[in-house]
A and B are shown apart, each in its own frame.
Chain A
Amino acid sequence: MKDRSAHTPDLLKRKLLQLSALVEENARRCVLTIRARDRDAARGLIEADREIDELEISIEEDCIAMLQARILDDSGIQFVVAVLKINADLERIGDLASNVAHRVLSIGQHHQLVLPDELMTLADRTLSMLKHSLDALVDMDSALAREVCARDQEVDMLNRSMYELVRDRIHASPEQAERLIHLLSISRYLERMADYATNIAENVVYISEGEIIRHRRSD
Chain B
Amino acid sequence: MRKKRLFWQLYSSNFLIIFLALFAFTFLISSSFKSLFLDEVSEDLQSRAKLLHDDIVHRIGEQSNRAIDDFIVDLGRRSSTRITIILPDGTVIADSERDPHSMDNHRNRPEIRRAMKGDVGTSTRFSMTLQQNTMYAAIPLRDEGGILGVLRTAVPVHKIEENVERLQWQIVGGGLIITLLAGLMSLYISRRITRPIQELKQGARRFAEGKLDVRLPIPESEELSDLAEVMNSMAEQLQDRITIITQQHSEQTAVLSSMMEGVLAFDTEEQLININRSAARLLRIDPEKARGKSIQEVVRNVGLQRFVERALSSDYAVEGYITLVDEEERHLQAHGSVLKDGQGESIGVLVVLNDITEIRTLENVRRDFVANVSHELKTPITSIKGFVETLLDGAIHDKSDAIRFLGIVSNQADRLNAIIEDLLSLSRIEQGAEREEIALAYSEVRETLYSAIQSCQHDADQKKIAVHLDCSPDLHALNNPPLLEQAIVNLISNAIKYSEDGKSVWVTAQRINDDEIRIDIRDEGYGIEAEHLPRLFERFYRIDKARSRKMGGTGLGLAIVKHIAQAHHGHVEVQSKPGSGSTFTIFLRTNIPEEAHVQA
Q: Which residues of A contact B (CB under 8 A)?
A: 1, 13-15, 17-18, 20-22, 24-25, 28-29, 32, 35-36, 111, 114-115, 134, 138-139
Contact = CB atoms under 8 A, between A and B. Distances in A.
Contacts of A32: 325, 328-329
A123 to B, nearest CB: 11
A138 B344 CA distance: 34
B300 interface: yes
A104 to B, nearest CB: 13
B309 A1 contact: yes
A114 B578 contact: yes
A25 B578 contact: no
Given A1-B305, A114-B578, A134 B329 contact: no
A17 B270 CA distance: 13
Closest 4 CB pairs of A and B: A17-B296, A28-B325, A21-B300, A14-B296
B123 interface: no
B296 A18 contact: yes
B544 A24 contact: no
Contact of A14 (B294, B326, B544): B294
A22 B543 CA distance: 34
A182 B174 CA distance: 117
A134 B296 CA distance: 11
Interface of B: 270, 294, 296-297, 299-302, 305-306, 309, 325-326, 328-329, 529, 531, 543-544, 578
A22 B302 contact: yes
A22 B300 CA distance: 8
Contact of A28 (B270, B302, B326): B326
18 contacts: A13-B296, A17-B294, A17-B296, A17-B300, A18-B302, A20-B300, A21-B299, A21-B302, A25-B300, A25-B302, A28-B325, A28-B326, A35-B531, A111-B529, A114-B578, A134-B300, A138-B297, A139-B297
Contacts of B529: 111, 114
Contacts of B299: 21
Given A14-B294, A111-B544, A29 B325 contact: yes
B301 A21 contact: yes
B139 to A, nearest CB: 107
B509 to A, nearest CB: 32
Nearest to A15: B296
> Which one of A25, A35, A111, A134 has the highest number of Cβ atoms from chain B below 10 Å of its Cβ?
A25
A12 to B, nearest CB: 11
Contacts of A18: 296, 302, 305
Contacts of A139: 297
Given A18-B296, A25-B302, 15 more contacts: A1-B306, A14-B270, A14-B294, A17-B294, A17-B297, A17-B300, A21-B301, A21-B302, A22-B302, A24-B300, A25-B300, A25-B301, A32-B328, A111-B543, A138-B300
Given A1-B305, A36-B531, A111-B544, A21 B296 contact: yes
Nearest to A55: B302
A13 B295 CA distance: 12
A25 B270 CA distance: 21
A29 B323 CA distance: 11
B288 to A, nearest CB: 13
A108 to B, nearest CB: 14
Nearest to B289: A139
B324 to A, nearest CB: 9
Contacts of B305: 1, 18, 21
B297 A25 contact: no
A40 B328 CA distance: 16
B357 to A, nearest CB: 14
Nearest to B544: A111
Nearest to A48: B302
Contacts of B302: 18, 21-22, 25
Nearest to B299: A21
Contacts of B578: 114
Contacts of A28: 325-326
Nearest to B293: A138
B300 to A, nearest CB: 4
Contacts of B543: 111
B576 to A, nearest CB: 13
A13 B296 CA distance: 9
